[in-house]
A and B are shown apart, each in its own frame.
Chain A
Amino acid sequence: MPSFDRQFVTILLASALLGLLGVFLALWGNPDNSGICVSCFLENSAGALGLHHNERMQYLRPELLGFVLGALASAMLGREFRSRGGSAPMLRLLSGIFLMVGCAAFIGCPIKLFLRLTAGDLTTLAGLAGLLAGVWIGLKGLAAGVSFERPGRAGGSAGFWLPILALAGVSVYWLRPEFIQFSVRGSGAQHAPVLAALGSGLLLGGLAQRSRFCVTGSVRDTLLLGRRNPLLWGLGVFVVVALLVNLASGHFRPGLYGQPGAHLEHLWSFLGMLLVGWLSVLIGGCPFRQLIKAGEGDADAGLVVIGMLLGAGLVQAWGLAATAAGVPVYGKVAVLAGLAFTSINVLLARRAEG
């Protein structure tokens, strides 16, 4: 077990709150098992910004803005805000898009994977296996000297812009400009009260910045460090708290069938999450972690976030996203294209390293 220092306590606190609010936000109005889901939120937000026209998926999710702004505030307070960037921009943008493709095939990001699992959704086991496999493959790549990171990253002002855009995004709730769409039906119309959602996002964003907690990061470090990894304990606390709250609130319904926002194409759940795990290792964090890093001034992560937003729009506009009916054919094609993209880039990066 890791030493019980301040950093470890912060990790435990961040992960406990992630589990707690992850379930509570669904109880307060977010869709079932989607109290927190970065990919679903991005799909909703892309719809709100007019990047797709699925009328059931349009809502600028305050939680997303809260994650970025909470991380910004925490980084500022801790004097850790540093505008930085300039590493492999095209790869990051495209990786962001393919992260959303993988999440859309599974129906959810790694955080939602665990929220679904702790609500008894056994279809997530295929996704979990895929995530573990993806992180493991990514680690093999890192061990072979492959990374999308490049030395000599430039500074400059680029890192300020995503937090500024998030700040501007908050104004939408009272200005209500005409070009921002809000669903009146479907999952986009299901949401927690704005202040509760924004407050939860700010709190979690701040704590995640301070603790560096991230689902794929936890898996990655566990494969590297085993039980000594403090993030593993964080992941454990997240799962236990979410499970307890689901049990207490009567939302634990174990089974393979009839689960909210789930499908039975296990191979594609596996491959979708494999893609997410693999890419997350190569670009230094899962979708949630990218938002947090963007908040602390990392323009590279900011570019991944923009790629994710674009990808979230594309998966809806092109009908790539899975539903309870399964994964559409072109959704499967997109997952395979993502796997091809990742493996080709790993090979090219390895050659460049050599």
Chain B
Amino acid sequence: MNLPDRFTLFHLSVAVGAVVGCLLLVLGASPASQARTGQGQLERDLARRARVEFLLDAYAPVQQLADQGRVQQALMKLEEIGRRYPGEAYGLLLKGRLLAEAGAADQAIAAYAAAVRGNPDFVEDGAPLAARDEIEQLVNRHLEPLRRRLADGATGISARRTMEQLRYLQSRLAGGCE
């Protein structure tokens, strides 16, 4: 049997050495790596929790007014906070709730749709600040009457726009990969 030449031996030993080195490093560093992974996960969980706490805190005055049934004042407060955080999704969710309570269904639906666009977690079961049930109820309450209105010849841009928003929420509630 011919022994491999030095060129082959050199490259073979580099390859084998590098692979063995990789394995040793990966296996040897496993506990430390796991600790770092845990640290990374902790940081992500902390950031997520902090975000939720911050939002609840920032919008607490709105929630207090809403709890007292002072919907108009709550909406004004929300607008005031919204100037500081324009387009923030939780603020839009609160706006949807307040407008629904005030009976402004079309605007409420638009606000809910904008909120879900900004943060799809709102329609996810078990997510912090999730509002899946109330969004589902909103869609179920308004979809069929609006569909009938459109079928009966309602031609307003606003009705069609509201229907688009409802369809969007309906599709988000259905799930899927996106």
Contact = CB atoms under 8 A, between A and B. Distances in A.
A156 interface: no
A176 interface: yes
Interface string B145-178: 0000000000000000000100110111111111
A40 B177 contact: yes
A34 B124 contact: no
Dominant secondary structure at the A interface? loop
A37 B30 contact: no
A250 interface: no
A261 B37 CA distance: 31
Nearest to A260: B176
Interface centre among B167, B172, B175, B178 (most CB of A within 10 A): B178
16 contacts: A31-B177, A32-B177, A33-B176, A107-B178, A175-B33, A178-B37, A187-B176, A190-B177, A258-B170, A259-B171, A260-B174, A261-B176, A262-B171, A262-B176, A321-B178, A324-B176
B34 A258 contact: no
A interface bracket (residues with beta carbon within 8 Å of B)? 20 to 34
Contacts of B164: 264
B171 A324 contact: yes
Interface string A161-187: 000000000000001111000001111
A325 interface: yes
Contacts of A31: 175-177
A323 B168 CA distance: 9
A322 B26 contact: no
Contacts of A263: 171
Contacts, number: 83
A176 B177 contact: no
Dominant secondary structure at the B interface? helix
Contacts of A330: none
Given A178-B33, A324-B168, A186 B121 contact: yes
B176 A32 contact: yes
A148 to B, nearest CB: 29
A37 B143 CA distance: 30
A210 interface: no
Interface string B132-150: 0000000000000000000
A175 B30 contact: yes
Contacts of A325: 117, 168
Closest 10 CB pairs of A and B: A261-B176, A260-B176, A258-B170, A324-B171, A31-B177, A34-B177, A260-B174, A40-B177, A187-B177, A32-B175
Contacts of A264: 164, 167
Interface centre among A186, A261, A263, A325 (most CB of B within 10 A): A325
A183 to B, nearest CB: 10
A184 B164 CA distance: 30
Interface residues of B, number: 25
Given A178-B40, A260-B176, A261-B178, A186 B168 contact: no
Nearest to B45: A184
Contacts of B40: 178
A353 to B, nearest CB: 40
Nearest to B139: A258
Contact of A261 (B30, B121, B175): B175
A212 interface: no
Contacts of A266: none
Given A34-B176, A177-B33, A258-B167, 6 more contacts: A32-B174, A187-B176, A190-B177, A257-B170, A258-B174, A262-B176
A350 interface: no
A100 B35 CA distance: 36
Contact of B173 (A177, A178, A187, A258): A258
Interface string A136-147: 000000000000
A90 B120 CA distance: 37
Contact of B174 (A177, A259, A321): A259
B127 interface: yes
Interface in B1-54: 26, 30, 33-34, 36-37, 40, 44
A56 interface: yes
B167 A322 contact: no
A167 B124 CA distance: 34
Nearest to B126: A185
Nearest to A177: B33
Given A258-B173, A258-B174, A322-B178, A176 B37 contact: yes
A176 B33 CA distance: 9
Nearest to A33: B176
